[in-house]
Amino acid sequence: MQHYRAIWISDVHLGTKGCKAAHLNAFLKEHTCEYLYLVGDIIDGWRMRQGLFWPSLHNRIIRRFIRKAEKENTKVIYIPGNHDEFLREYIHEHKLEMGNIRIVNEAYHETENGDLLWIVHGDAYDGVAQYHRWLTFAGDAGYNFLIWINIYLNRIRKLFGLPYWSLSNAVKNKVKRAVSYMFEFEHTIAREALRRKTDGVICGHIHQPAKKLIGKVQYYNCGDWVENCTALVEDDLGLIQLLYWAEIGHEDSDNEVVPELNFLGGSI
Ligand SMILES: [Mn+2]
């Protein structure tokens, strides 16, 4: 059992096949904290509209959140994202409280060493969401498959006297745009954190775990529990670290459902 002052997770996407629920369940079981921030896209309401996928393991995650609030006296702060925006409707006068669980649009957190952090999911600061799917796709086995298809596609094009067309180059261009998209997002958020006179920002949304300095602002991104399985944690001295479940985890949480192909319906 490991204790932290605060834990931040985002982009769990419960209700989708891609959610690494077994890993998250094990992570929550082994960690306690004073503050648990759920930084958006925890429940995927978009996917649920297309037919219900809700294994009991996903229920267990929800029960763990409630259990932490009730039994471990953890203050749970749920900040909805764009995929769980249905919860935003419940936020009257900017907050909804149920015992130790609060639902708010955004929050501020003061670390043990006095730094003020702005906590927000981040979709409001996202210009173009679509490019992201290409980035997750590129590192994938799907990329090799694309190149293979490309060979056959061009044989057909040649048959019809058409010039060579590089599919993989087209994908690479998309990836470049995805990288600049993320750069845009991170800098927009950091600028806003500076405008709000905070020392840093903790967000999610782009499924890209990060802990870095952007100008004068500490930029943290929780990452996700679809691919990266990451969490941000604050220790008792106020030090914030980015944890990768792959590095701290155990093999017994390995029984996972097959993830969905990200590029088909991947949206953030
Ligand atoms: Mn999102």
pLDDT digits (tens, 9 = 90+) for 6-35: 999 999 999 998 999 999 999 999 999 999
Span from the CA of 260 to the centroid of ligand 1 (angstroms): 17
* pLDDT band at residue 265 using 50, 70 and 90 as cut-offs: very low
pLDDT in tens, 75-101: 999 999 999 988 887 776 656 788 899
What pLDDT band is residue 168 in, cutting at 50, 70 and 90? low
Mean pLDDT of the chain: 85
- Rounded Cα distance between 248 and 220, Å, is 19
Residue 93: C-alpha distances to residues 42, 154, 194 (Å): 22, 58, 25
Q: Domains, the chain, ranges and CATH?
A: 2-123+200-265 (3.60.21.10)
For residue 83, which of 263, 204, 178, 257 has the smallest C-alpha distance? 204
pLDDT digits (tens, 9 = 90+) for 64-82: 999 999 999 999 999 999 9
More reliable by pLDDT, 256 or 20:
20
**Do residues 11 and 223 touch, judged by C-beta distance below 8 A?**
yes
Q: Say how many Å lie between the CA of residue 83 and the centre of ligand 1.
A: 6
Kindly report the backbone phi and psi dihedral angles of residue 71, in degrees, each rounded to the nearest multiple of 5, phi listed first: -95, -35
Residue 135 CA to ligand 1 center (angstroms) comes to 15
Reduced to 3 states, what is the DSSP secondary structure of residue 161?
Answer: coil
Residue 96: what pLDDT? 76
- 40 Cα: distance to centroid of ligand 1 (angstroms): 7
Strands 101-104 and 95-98, bridge-based pairing: antiparallel
pLDDT band at 40 (very low <50, low <70, confident <90, very high): very high
Q: Ligand 1 centre from 215 Cα, in Å?
A: 24
Please identify which residue in the block is written with the tokens 């094990």: 26
Q: Is the pLDDT of residue 172 over 60?
A: yes
Q: Ligand 1 centroid vs 267 CA: distance in angstroms?
A: 8
Residues 6+ apart with CB under 8 A from 259: 17, 18, 20, 226, 227
Region at 197 (left for phi over 0; alpha for psi -120 to 50; beta for the rest): left
Q: CA-to-CA distance for 97 and 101, rounded, in angstroms?
A: 6
Yes or no: say if 137 and 266 are a contact pair by the CB < 8 Å rule: yes
